[in-house]
Structure 1
Amino acid sequence: MNPLWKKILLRTILLSREQQSSAFFRDTEKEVRKAQVTIKNLLKDLFLITLGIFTAAFGFKGFLLTNHFIDGGATGISLLISALTPLPLYLLIIGVNLPFVIMAFKVVGKQFAIKTAIAIAGLSLVLATVSFPNVTDDSLLVAIFGGFFLGAGIGFSIRGGAVIDGTEVLAIFLSRKFGTTIGDIIIGINILIFSAAAYFLGIEIALYSMITYLSASKTLDFIVEGIEEYIGVTIVAGQSEEIRQMIINTMGRGVTVYSGKRGYGKRGDTQDTDIIYTVITRLEINKLTTELEKIEPTAFVVMNSVKDIKGGMIKKRPLSDA
């Protein structure tokens, strides 16, 4: 074989091996990075679920149990049965939630069901083995702070990818089956629970229990959604470029620009325009409105609530990527 062709063939073989080696290391690095992210998320979820278990247990044993106050949902059912029978709460937590865990496996998914089973079993174990002091016997304080700690515990568990109250799983299942909203189903379930509490435990305890439920639900919303409420803003205006620059430079926010058409007039004529979309916090609405007034007072602006966001130029609240 010609020496020149031998050199070319050798170089080709060496280059091919280098490319294969480089591709191998890239794939290996990618797999390692994926494994690191998975382990990090699992540890974070475990921490949040554990924090939720102990927080909820403190709400139970430090406030609610000694005063026979209840909450809504599966937790409320467990507390109500515990108040009426000698059955311990830690067994009732498992017994009442077990059907919901099985349902979660079919309705939501395997990973969620496993985490939920671990969270409920952990809560039951803590209730059975860990002692908490009875903080107060004042009924109003018990209702407010018992609900606060219970709602915080449920919220932390949700941030960890699990629930320690299976009512929402039932609500999701029934909403899919009957076409009703999840909120309506949860309200209906809680009406039945508090009506039973009023009948068996008395009107006063039922009323305090409603305060407990309101406190828990508000705390849950705060833990899950955070203190900031995000607002998605869509702007259609003639001065779209100037508005885009204002949002980036003055507001310090990112924007997405869509190419669109706007229709106007009786004939339905259209005109090409840039549509601007951005996400701000509730506290920044007034500033954005003021700046828009300076540029184009007649700009068409649509605002809507955004439950959660990821990435971009919005500063995320703590635990938001849980």
Structure 2
Amino acid sequence: MKHLQTVVLITLGNLLCAFAINTFIIHNKFIIGGVTGTSIIFNHLFGLPISTIIYIVNAILFVLGLLFLGKRFALSTLLSSIMLPFFLGIFEQMSWQNELMLDSFLSCVLGGILTGIGNGLIIRQNASTGGYDTLALILKKAYKVPVHITVYVIDTCLILAMLTFSNLTNLVYGLITTFLLSYAMNKVLTSGNSQLQIFIISSHYEEIRRNLLYDLDVGVTLLHSQTGFHKKELEVLITIIPNIKLQSLKKIVKDIDPTAFISVAEVSEIGGRGYTLERKTVVASELID
């Protein structure tokens, strides 16, 4: 069942990407990098279908990944390497998408967000979207070239090439699309994992600790510290809680010590006992005074 869910989500992610790329990015001739940018250039030069070009580029990158990065990495890119151009080929044949054409700004917003959501769904299943990241990883392995340098150089070359037949306006829209793509993808990757990290500094830390453990049913860690001015020994309480428990925690702390210092920060990745591992229930008799 888990494998079926993974395949379904990867399929949905590629479907969203293909729809957004074809409807909002390619039709508006936005300047972007990656394999999509390469396909737009070859489409302009030779008139080849964009889906066909993506098939060819992905096939080459897949073989290179298999040879230099191993079977495991290659398999993680296989589904997307096949699905994305397949869905693009379907959307290329559909004329009803022309009715969805909006003004350029709305198109770059929708194109970026939908593509980002699609990529996020794929990566959350521990799959890879492939593309020039494969080439960047090969160069890093062989010549220690940082991945981001390779990606930046490739994207810069593609953008300069596309400027020869496009214009600066499409470049700006393409940059907005890329920014929104990254933002939406990061939101999908961190959604459902985001919680609040709370720091509490109070001379009544022991009473607060007991109330948080027993009444609020959250884990607590104590850090030994000193106050900065008087160098007074003190314990700092740290806890990770879901957003819904924040107001209850603040009430508990303020009822015990109205002068307590509370710091709240959002964290996106939490692991360990009580989060990614099954937690142990705490009962009052187990609390240490």
For 1:304-319, list aligned pairs within 5 A: 305-309=266-270
The alignment status of 1:46 with 2:10, answered yes or no, reads no
The TM-score, its normalising length taken from structure 1, stands at 0.65
The alignment status of 1:125 with 2:86, answered yes or no, reads yes
Aligned match of 2:279: none
Aligned match of 2:20: 59
Aligned match of 1:166: 131
Partner residue of 2:209 out of 240, 244, 268:
244
Any idea what SS the aligned residue of 1:67 has? coil
Aligned match of 1:222: 187
Unmatched 5+ stretches in structure 2: 277-289
Greater fraction of residues in helix: 1
The alignment status of 1:202 with 2:167, answered yes or no, reads yes
Q: Measured at CA, do residues 142 and 262 of structure 1 come closer, stay the same or move farther in structure 2, by a change above 3 Å? A: closer
Any idea what SS the aligned residue of 1:200 has? coil
Moved more, 84-93 or 151-160: 84-93
For 1:125-144, list aligned pairs within 5 A: 125-130=86-91, 131-132=93-94, 133-134=96-97, 135-136=100-101, 138-144=103-109
Percent same amino acid at aligned positions?
A: 25
1:50 to partner: Cα distance: 0.7
Q: Measured at CA, do residues 302 and 87 of structure 1 come closer, stay the same or move farther in structure 2, by a change above 3 Å? A: same
Tell whether the 8 Å contact from 1:71 to 1:147 is kept in structure 2 after alignment: no
Aligned match of 1:262: 225
Tell whether the 8 Å contact from 1:69 to 1:79 is kept in structure 2 after alignment: no
For 1:16-55, list aligned pairs within 5 A: 40-55=1-16
Separation (CA, whole Å) in 2 of partners of 1:49 and 1:59: 15
Any idea what SS the aligned residue of 2:163 has? helix
Structure with higher Rg: it is 1
Aligned match of 1:35: none
Separation (CA, whole Å) in 2 of partners of 1:235 and 1:283: 18
Any idea what SS the aligned residue of 1:276 has? strand
1:51 to partner: Cα distance: 0.4
Aligned match of 1:95: 56
Q: Measured at CA, do residues 288 and 119 of structure 1 come closer, stay the same or move farther in structure 2, by a change above 3 Å? A: same
Separation (CA, whole Å) in 2 of partners of 1:241 and 1:118: 54
Separation (CA, whole Å) in 1 of partners of 2:152 and 2:262: 34
Tell whether the 8 Å contact from 1:256 to 1:276 is kept in structure 2 after alignment: yes
Q: Measured at CA, do residues 262 and 142 of structure 1 come closer, stay the same or move farther in structure 2, by a change above 3 Å? A: closer
Separation (CA, whole Å) in 1 of partners of 2:117 and 2:183: 9
1:191 to partner: Cα distance: 4.2
1:202 aligned partner, one-letter code: N
Separation (CA, whole Å) in 2 of partners of 1:88 and 1:42: 32
1:114 to partner: Cα distance: 0.8
1:52 to partner: Cα distance: 1.0
Q: Measured at CA, do residues 43 and 196 of structure 1 come closer, stay the same or move farther in structure 2, by a change above 3 Å? A: same
Moved more, 239-248 or 137-146: 239-248
1:159 aligned partner, one-letter code: R
1:209 to partner: Cα distance: 1.4
Separation (CA, whole Å) in 2 of partners of 1:297 and 1:174: 57
Tell whether the 8 Å contact from 2:116 to 2:182 is kept in structure 1 after alignment: yes
1:240 aligned partner, one-letter code: Y
1:203 aligned partner, one-letter code: L
Any idea what SS the aligned residue of 1:201 has? coil
The TM-score, its normalising length taken from structure 2, stands at 0.71
The number of residues matched between the two structures is: 271
